[in-house]
Amino acid sequence: MTDLVLSQLTDPFRIGLIIALVVTMIRTSAVTGRALPLALGVVFVAVILPTTMPGGAASLSNAILAGLISNLIILGLVLAIAALVARLRR
């Protein structure tokens, strides 16, 4: 499981999707809020990637669980960088 999470943490497509999720959340937060779009986006990316891309030997449930963990880690880093950028712009 640890190997699966580590491989997903370095997946550039997953990282790009999470960055796009945060950018979209920032632009639309006045209308849609912040927590619900982020939560749904993290779950969406965790489910859609293993179901559409050919994976390794891991089962689908393990791949989705590892995806949730890695997405939350990536999301935390991206949100921290976005907060830092917003603070530096002020």
pLDDT per residue over 12-70, tens digit each?
999 999 999 999 999 999 898 999 999 999 999 999 988 888 767 778 899 999 999 99
In order of 1, 69, 87, the CA distances from 62 in angstroms are 7, 11, 37
What is the spatial distance between Cα 10 and Cα 89, in angstroms, rounded to a whole number? Answer: 28
Q: Are the CB atoms for 68 and 59 separated by under 8 Å? A: no
pLDDT tens-digit readout, 66-86:
999 999 999 999 999 999 999
In order of 45, 47, 49, the CA distances from 53 in angstroms are 12, 11, 6
